[in-house]
Chain A
Amino acid sequence: MKTKGRNFVLYGSILLISLVAPLVLPAYGTQLAFLWVMVVFALTWDIVGGQMGYNSFGNVVFFGIGMYVTAVIQRNMHYDIEEYVHVAGRVDTLASGEYLAGLFLGMGVGAVVAVVIAVILGFCILGMGMRGQYFGICTLGLGVAAGELANGWEYIGAGSGLVTPVFPEGLGVRGAFFYYIFFILAIILYMTLKWLYSGRFGLAVNAIRDDEDKAEAMGIHTTRYKIVAWCISAFFLSLVGGGAGHLIGFIDPTEVAFAGATFGVWMILMAILGGKGTLWGPVIGAVIFHITQELFWTYLFGWQRVALGALIVGIVVFFPQGIMGWVRERWPERFGHRVEEKGVFSVSEGGGA
Chain B
Amino acid sequence: MSEYQLEVEGVCKRFGGVVANDRITLSVPQGRIIGLIGPNGSGKTTLFNSIVGYHPIDKGSIRFEGREISDMRVPEIARLGVLRTFQQTRIYGKMTCVQNMQISMPHTNEGLRTMFSKYPPEVVDKAESLLEFLGLYAKRHLMAGDLSFGQQKLLEFAMALMNEPRLLLLDEPTAGINPTLINGLIERLKRSNADLGITLFVIEHNIRAIMNLAEHIYCLAHGQLLTSGPPDQIQNDQQVIDAYLGAK
Contact = CB atoms under 8 A, between A and B. Distances in A.
* Binding between chains A and B: yes
A34 B52 CA distance: 50
A345 interface: yes
A33 to B, nearest CB: 30
Nearest to A199: B118
Contacts of A217: 52, 54, 74-75, 78, 83-84, 86, 90
16 contacts: A200-B118, A203-B99, A210-B92, A214-B92, A215-B92, A217-B54, A219-B75, A225-B115, A228-B115, A337-B96, A339-B141, A348-B135, A352-B178, A352-B180, A352-B181, A353-B178
B104 interface: yes
A84 to B, nearest CB: 40
A164 interface: no
Count chain B CB atoms within 10 A of each CB in A199, A201, A218, A341 and give the residue with the most: A218
B189 to A, nearest CB: 14
Contact of A218 (B54, B118, B137, B159): B159
B134 interface: yes
B243 interface: no
B186 interface: no
Interface of B: 52, 54, 74-75, 78-79, 83-84, 86, 90-96, 99, 102-104, 106-108, 110, 112, 114-119, 132, 134-143, 146, 148-151, 153-154, 159, 163, 177-178, 180-181, 184
Contacts of A214: 86, 90-92
A353 B107 contact: no
Interface of A: 196, 198-201, 203-204, 206-207, 209-211, 213-222, 224-225, 228, 277, 332, 336-342, 345-353
Contact of A349 (B90, B93, B181): B181
Contacts of B115: 200-201, 204, 221, 224-225, 228
A345 B93 contact: no
Contacts of A332: 143
Contacts, number: 141
A214 B102 CA distance: 14
Contacts of A337: 96, 141-143, 146
Contact of B116 (A201, A211, A353): A201
A349 B188 CA distance: 12
Given A217-B86, A219-B83, A219-B107, 5 more contacts: A199-B118, A206-B94, A210-B93, A218-B159, A349-B184
Contacts of A351: 135, 138
Contacts of A199: 116-119
Contact of A206 (B90, B95, B151): B95
Contacts of A210: 91-95
A353 B117 contact: no
Contacts of B99: 203, 206
Contacts of B177: 353
Contacts of A346: 135
A204 B105 CA distance: 11
Contact of B138 (A224, A225, A347, A353): A347
A219 B106 contact: yes
Nearest to B139: A339
A204 B47 CA distance: 28
A277 B94 CA distance: 10
A227 B59 CA distance: 33
B232 to A, nearest CB: 29
Nearest to B162: A218
Contacts of B103: 200, 203-204, 206-207, 215, 218, 220
Given A217-B78, A345-B132, A336 B95 contact: no
A203 B102 contact: yes
